[in-house]
Amino acid sequence: MDISNLNKIFFEKYNNRNEKPVIFFSPGRVNLIGEHTDYNGGFVFPCAINYGTYLVIRKTEDPIIRFSTLNFNEDSSVALPAEGLFVNTGQKWINYPLGVMNEFIARGAVLPGMDLLFSGDIPNGAGLSSSASIEMVTAVALNELLDQQLDMLELVKMSQRAENHFVGMNCGIMDQFAVGFGSKDHAIALDCDTLEYKNVPLILGGHSLIIANTNKRRGLTDSKYNERRAECESAVELLQTYRPLRNLGELDSNDIPALGKFIDDAVIRKRAHHVITENARVKEAVKVLMDNDLRRFGELMTESHDSLRDDYEVTGFELDTLAGEAIKLPGVLGSRMTGAGFGGCTVSIVESGSVDQFISELGRVYFEKTGLKADFYRPLIGDGARMIYPG
Ligand code: GLA
């Protein structure tokens, strides 16, 4: 994105060229492995990508926050609350920044009037964290503009809370964490229970990461997501007679026989089985990546998809077709859905020399089977949310 162009559009919208804005950028993320483990206190392995959200922002003297975006034709303005917090505006995208602003107010910050212009290139609702990207770009910007001096972890938690309480999506911490703590050419091995993490060099030795978007509308994602969370909580409750437990992430493969004994409901049992096996796969994936065993890394990705399809049941025809057809193609080490599921994207590791063939063949077969056109992205792995101008 051309910064001078963003500035130009900002001034066209808001006038007053004397008050210069500041520009921030926040990436999206792709999760390599470890799906639906974060809210179970388990492990995840995401990385930040070079697709993301820009925010051009400045303080003003008026008691109004003006929002505008290059992504939809939808500008809004909201009066600063005389006291208390902003209220949810219904289905509008500005709930993401407003939720984050509320978090600052709740900490005692006094918000000035502001002009904001957002511009993003993450496909919406595709499982690449466009929401976390908007939240985090707002959080780093307000931290700077209001001189709050909060550390990145605090901004991550505030953004997650905004999404949980203001937007109403009961997500875990992975997305905001990956978007905040992203590091160029590294994936983040994160323990979602302790929030300890390690940056692992993502060395793909002659292979590329390819994201493919099913372009399936995601419909009931939020309610299904919350349903899965509730099922995991039921599993924890039922397992209390086996052993005291805070979350499923505390279990490992030695505990699998106990699932049959203590959980009668086959669905709840499968959900717990996924979380336990997925956690084990993340741990192995981090290790084999550090050992340069990409072949095994790819196998683990594919196993992860199978478990999300069979045990966790969050894939669906389009994701299964895209991942299932991908691994039949030459040069493909592994492929899986990424993000919440029910639509959205897959991520695959493909030999770099086979990428063109991969895209054309997979696109063709996917269209034949689903009637949908897939979009393909070859992301670079980048840094987390930050100020970029003046930098
Ligand atoms: C969404 C949520 C994350 C995580 C993933 C599934 O992206 O926002 O917290 O639960 O789904 O792994």
| CB contact set of 69 (below 8 Å; sequence gap of 6+) | 75, 93, 117, 118, 119, 120
Atom of ligand 1 nearest to the CA of 174: 9
Whether 36 is in the pocket of ligand 1, judged by its Cβ within 6 Å, is yes
pLDDT, tens only, 45-54: 999 999 999 9
pLDDT for res 89: 84
Mean pLDDT of 350-379: 98
Whether 228 is in the pocket of ligand 1, judged by its Cβ within 6 Å, is no
Whether 345 is in the pocket of ligand 1, judged by its Cβ within 6 Å, is no
pLDDT for res 219: 65
For ligand 1, pick from 160, 171, 227 the residue to mutate: most ligand atoms within 8 Å of CB: 171
HEC string for 245-306: CCCHHHCCHHHHHHHHHHCCCHHHHHHHHHHHHHHHHHHHHHHHHHCCCHHHHHHHHHHHHH
pLDDT for res 319: 97
Query: Residue 7: pLDDT above 70?
Result: yes
pLDDT for res 359: 98
Active-site residue, selected from the candidate residues 2, 75, 115, 175 = 175
Distance from Cα 330 to the centre of ligand 1, integer Å? 30
Whether 216 is in the pocket of ligand 1, judged by its Cβ within 6 Å, is no
pLDDT, tens only, 11-32: 999 998 888 999 999 999 999 9
Beta bridge partners of 347: 211, 336
Distance from Cα 128 to the centre of ligand 1, integer Å? 10
Mean pLDDT of 297-321: 98
Whether 35 is in the pocket of ligand 1, judged by its Cβ within 6 Å, is yes
pLDDT for res 16: 82
For ligand 1, pick from 43, 44, 170, 174 the residue to mutate: most ligand atoms within 8 Å of CB: 174
Query: Residue 179: pLDDT above 90?
Result: yes
Query: Residue 221: pLDDT above 80?
Result: no
Whether 39 is in the pocket of ligand 1, judged by its Cβ within 6 Å, is yes
For ligand 1, pick from 36, 134, 222 the residue to mutate: most ligand atoms within 8 Å of CB: 36
Distance from Cα 110 to the centre of ligand 1, integer Å? 31
Residue 308 pLDDT class (50, 70, 90 cuts): very high
Least Cα distance to 207 among 292, 109, 87, 323 occurs for: 292
Rounded distance, CA 333 to CA 349, Å?
5
* Residue 175: active-site member: yes
Rounded distance, CA 130 to CA 207, Å?
26
User: What percent of the chain shows pLDDT beyond 70?
Assistant: 99
| CB contact set of 112 (below 8 Å; sequence gap of 6+) | 59, 60, 145, 146
Question: Taking a C-beta distance cutoff of 8 angstroms, is the pair 381, 187 a contact?
Answer: yes
Distance from Cα 129 to the centre of ligand 1, integer Å? 9
Whether 156 is in the pocket of ligand 1, judged by its Cβ within 6 Å, is no
**Cα separations (Å) of 29 from 144, 178, 355?**
23, 6, 21
Residue 329 pLDDT class (50, 70, 90 cuts): very high
Q: Which residue, by CA, sits nearest to atom 9 of ligand 1?
A: 172
Least Cα distance to 96 among 15, 145, 169 occurs for: 169
pLDDT for res 252: 97
Tell me the pLDDT of the chain averaged across its residues: 96
pLDDT for res 187: 98
pLDDT for res 124: 86
Residue 220 pLDDT class (50, 70, 90 cuts): low
pLDDT for res 217: 78
pLDDT, tens only, 65-119: 999 999 888 889 999 998 889 998 887 899 999 999 999 999 999 999 999 999 9
